[in-house]
Structure 1
Amino acid sequence: MDQGLAAVLGATVGVLGTVSASAISGWSARQQVQSQAKIEHAQWRRQTRRDAYSAFLAPANEARTTLKIAARALIGDNPDLPEADRRLQVAQEQLAVVQAAWAGLAVEGPEPVEQAAHSVRTGLHSMRTTLLAWRDSMGAPDLNVTFVERHAVEATRISERIGRFTAAARTALDDTESPSGV
């Protein structure tokens, strides 16, 4: 082989090697950027969901506590109606916050979390409705036994529903920790 041809072939091989190395390096960099973007998106998504779940859970717990205090004000031979009324009004305001938080949570999802939140929301509304009926029937000859019993059942159910919501939210957050394919 003549020296000129060998030099051209050597240069061609060198250029092809450099171009190939550059292409592989560029592809690798793009893959790394895409992987990092997926990780950052998953972290952002998890944070957004966590905020939505917390924004729902905090007022839901507050409403439950307020409704229990309202029920205590209605119990006994000498119920504290002004305190019960005040607590029922506060609970109504808290339920408006729960409703708004549920709307944001319904968008964030996933569906099992939204369904659990919906169950909490409807349970709290039912609990308040029972207390209003109990309050309106004060002085009944049966001492409002039906409403007392219904409230006791609803208080237990709402605690269970909040527990299910918390578990569903935790599971959803665990599922968004690492994006698939990374």
Structure 2
Amino acid sequence: MDAGLAAVLGALAGAVATTGAAFATGWSAREQAKIAARAEHRRQRRDARQTVYEDFINAVEALIEAARLIHLDINEGNVIVAPSSEEVQPLENSVGKIATKVILAGPASMSERVQELRGTARSLLINLLRIELRIKGMSNVSEEKGVMLVEADCVALGRLIAEFSQDAQAVLDDDGTQPTAS
């Protein structure tokens, strides 16, 4: 092989190696940028979710606390203290508004639990309204039955919010390194 051909082949091999290294470096840099962008996106979503999940848990707990102020005079079978629907309605509305934010914050797996919580919160408000109407003589539901329904809704809300909290923790702990179950 003459020296000229060897020099050309050497230059060509160097150019191919340099081009290959440049492509590999570019591809690696692009993949690293994707990973960093995805990690930042996940962090931002997690932070937003944590805030809305906290607000939702607090709203449901405030609703339960307000509803549990109801007391029944066991001897007479009459409600002696009951929150009015006017006091509870804003709390129930708050649960509904924040529920929408939770659904939008996702993931989709949280929607079913939120819908169940929302339905039970509505039921609680309706049962408090029944007691209020009974006290005013406008309903045939006994006060004792109304109190039992309110207490059952409070217990259900407590159980559901505990389950929601566990699910929220799992969502917030997800760092994206494990495949998600479909």
Greater CA deviation, 165-174 or 119-128? 165-174
Separation in structure 1 between the aligned mates of residue 81 and residue 30 of structure 2, nearest angstrom: 68
Report Cα offsets for 1:77-96 as digits up to 9, x if no partner: 68246xx33xx423211111
Post-superposition shift, 1:33? 1.0
Q: What stretches of structure 1 move > 6 A for 4+ residues in a row? A: none
Kept after mapping to 1: 8 A contact 2:117/2:160: yes
1:118 is aligned to 115
Kept after mapping to 2: 8 A contact 1:60/1:121: no
SS in 1 for 2:176: coil
Separation in structure 1 between the aligned mates of residue 13 and residue 142 of structure 2, nearest angstrom: 98
SS in 1 for 2:135: coil
Post-superposition shift, 1:179? 5.4
Kept after mapping to 1: 8 A contact 2:67/2:150: no
Percent identity, aligned pairs only, is 24
1:68 is aligned to 68
Aligned residues: 172
- Equivalent of residue 178 in structure 1, options 126, 151, 176: 176
Post-superposition shift, 1:152? 2.2
Greater CA deviation, 109-118 or 95-104? 109-118
Which is bigger in relative contact order (C-alpha 8 A, separation at least 6)?
Answer: 1
Report Cα offsets for 1:55-92 as digits up to 9, x if no partner: 322111111111112x13xx3268246xx33xx42321
TM-score by length of 2: 0.81
Separation in structure 2 between the aligned mates of residue 43 and residue 23 of structure 1, nearest angstrom: 30
2:168 is aligned to 169
SS in 2 for 1:50: helix
Post-superposition shift, 1:134? 1.5
Higher helix share: 1
2:150 is aligned to 151
Separation in structure 1 between the aligned mates of residue 100 and residue 11 of structure 2, nearest angstrom: 66
Post-superposition shift, 1:120? 1.4
1:33 is aligned to 33
The amino acid across from 1:127 in the alignment is: L
1:20 is aligned to 20
2:89 is aligned to 92
Separation in structure 1 between the aligned mates of residue 117 and residue 144 of structure 2, nearest angstrom: 24
Separation in structure 2 between the aligned mates of residue 79 and residue 52 of structure 1, nearest angstrom: 36
2:80 is aligned to 79
- Equivalent of residue 102 in structure 2, options 87, 91, 105: 105
Kept after mapping to 2: 8 A contact 1:123/1:158: yes
Where structure 1 has 5 or more consecutive residues not aligned to the other structure, the ranges are none
2:135 maps to 1:134: no
